[in-house]
Amino acid sequence: MTLFEGSAVTVRYGAVQALENIDIRLDPGVVHGVIGPNGAGKSTFIDALSGRKRPSAGKVLLDGEDITARPVGWRRLHGVSRSFQRTSVFASMTVRDQLEMVARRTGGKDLDDIVGALGLGPFLDRVCNEIAYGTQRSVDLALALIGEPRVVLLDEPCAGLVADEAAGMLGHIRAICKDRDVAVLLVEHDVDGVFRTCDAITVLNLGKVLTSGAPADVRKDEEVVRAYLGSAA
């Protein structure tokens, strides 16, 4: 059985059809990238899968159970977490207080492991608005990982990072996916980074799937090259 599945997910904002019949399957230990031009529907897709936005049609399934009507908090406590495009850290709290707050809520006993894996130990007693932006993004990722989620939906975790930081972040994400057998959905604009990091890639364009499959096949897909990758492919 598929761990987590979006089936024919459709989202309309009034007259705007942001997503039309999108299918995705997320499996443990697999990083699944979602790429596409601005406005393709990537953030809307994460919102629909995470419970922030109720799909107009279609279903979201966890372990085969229909969780489409379950709210965000229920999903988080049942192993589905997400991060946001903009950093969601509380500026005036210390890194430790933030992480512990989420650990208490989710019952997470894995805080020390996550802090170690992301190299956050030296920053635990620093206030978030005093640490570098790249470290704040690592705190964001840590917040999504607390509580041993089985499914992690990441909305542009590399936004605003310089190339080296982005490469480090993507390396952490892949390692955590493999080490913890987590199903990861990665929305990211850094196309080369996505191709290096992901085991499978879905390309969205104007709310529809252009193609989905192994990175090498997606890179060769003529429609994707024409609509999105262009000469970068």
Ligand X SMILES: Nc1ncnc2c1ncn2[C@@H]1O[C@H](COP(=O)(O)OP(=O)(O)OP(=O)(O)O)[C@@H](O)[C@H]1O
The residues that touch ligand X, with contacts defined as CB under 6 A, are 13, 16, 18, 36, 38-44
Do residues 208 and 39 touch, judged by C-beta distance below 8 A? no
- Among all chains, which residue has been given the structure tokens 């406005």? 39
Shortest distance (Å) from residue 133 CB to ligand X: 18
Neighbours of 152 (CB within 10 A): 25
Shortest distance (Å) from residue 128 CB to ligand X: 24
Do residues 45 and 5 touch, judged by C-beta distance below 8 A? no
Nearer to ligand X by Cβ, of 48 and 99: the residue is 48
Nearer to ligand X by Cβ, of 99 and 158: the residue is 158
Shortest distance (Å) from residue 123 CB to ligand X: 28
DSSP code at position 225: I
Nearer to ligand X by Cβ, of 5 and 155: the residue is 155
Neighbours of 223 (CB within 10 A): 11
Nearer to ligand X by Cβ, of 28 and 39: the residue is 39
Q: How would DSSP label each residue in 103-132?
A: HHHHT---HHHHHHHTT-GGGTTSBGGGS-
Shortest distance (Å) from residue 35 CB to ligand X: 9
